[in-house]
Amino acid sequence: MSGPSVGVVFRPQSPPEQLPAVVDAAERAGVAELWLWEDCFLAGGLSTAAVALARSERLHVGVGLLPVPLRNPALAAMEIATLARLFPGRFRPALGHGVLDWMGQVGARADSPMTLLAEYTGAVRALLRGEQVDVAGEYVRLDRVALDGPPREVPPVLVGARGPRTLRLSGRLADGVVLDAGLDTDDVRDALLETSADRPRDAGAFHVVCYVAVGSHTSDLAHWTSATAAAYGEAGADSVVFVPPAGDPDPTRLIEAIGRPGAG
C-alpha cells in the first residue's frame, strides 16, 4: 500500500508575486500538491490557483477553502469548470463556511451557515456534472441554471470541516474533506468516523486532505515530514499537506525537505 500524496501550502500572507517561483520549486522537487486558501482580504484563491496550474505541468493544485458566502454558486461553478477544463485532473476546490466575522464585515454572513453550505455544495456539484439546477432554498436560488460547457473530467468538490455537523455534511454531500491543522492522528480517525456516519452507501471515492502545521524551529525537517506523512496516512489521510508558520510563510524549506531526490 502506497503512502499519502504530500504537499505544501502557499499561504495567502505571502506576496502573490512569489507564487511563480514557489510553483517552479515544487515542480522541480517533485512535490505532488500545492494548496492555497482565501483569507480576507488577501490574494484570491481561484486567481492564484489559475497561476499555479498554468505555471506547472503535473502539480495538483487545491484551494482549501473557498468561503461560500462570497460567491454565487453559479459563478463558483463557472470558475471551477473553467480551471477543470483547462487543467483536467489537477484542480481540487474545497468549499467552507469562511471566518464568520469576516463574512459579517462584507455583509455576507448567513444566519445558518450549515444550511448555506449544504445548499451551495449540492448546487455546485450538480452544475459541474452538467445538470440543470432548479432550486429555491433558504440561500441558494437558481432558476434553470446549467453550465454551457461543463468539464468532461469533473473535479472532486471537497468541504473544509472542523465540527461534527460539518464533518457529517462533508460525508453526505461532498467528494472529500479538508481537515484543518491542529488535529493529531487520533483526532483524524475520529473525524473520519463522523464523515462516514451519513455517507450514502453508493457514494464514490472520498478524498481526505489533512493540513499539518510545521513549527518554525522543527529540526531534521526531512525526517519529520516523512514520518508525519506516514502516520497521517495510516490514520486515513489521502493527502498530507504541510503548512508553514504564519510568521515565516515561505514554503521553500518545506519543498526542499519533502521533494524527491533527483526529481528535478
The residue ranges of every structural domain in the chain are: 5-258
pLDDT score for 65: 95
- Grid cell listed for 45: 484563491
pLDDT score for 20: 98
- Of the listed ranges 28-42, 188-202, 247-261, the least confidently predicted one is 247-261
CA distance 73 to 141: 9
CA distance 13 to 250: 9
Q: Which CATH class is domain 5-258?
A: alpha beta
State the distance between the two ends of the chain, measured CA to CA, in whole angstroms. Answer: 25
The model's pLDDT over 44-97, given as tens digits with 9 standing for 90+, comes to 999 999 999 999 999 999 999 999 999 999 999 999 999 999 999 999 999 999
pLDDT score for 202: 86
Total residue length of the chain? 264
CA distance 143 to 38: 28
Q: Which amino acid is located at 79 in the chain?
A: E
- Grid cell listed for 76: 463558483
At 262, is the pLDDT very low, low, confident or very high (cuts 50, 70, 90)?
very low
- Total-model pTM: 0.96
CA distance 132 to 7: 35
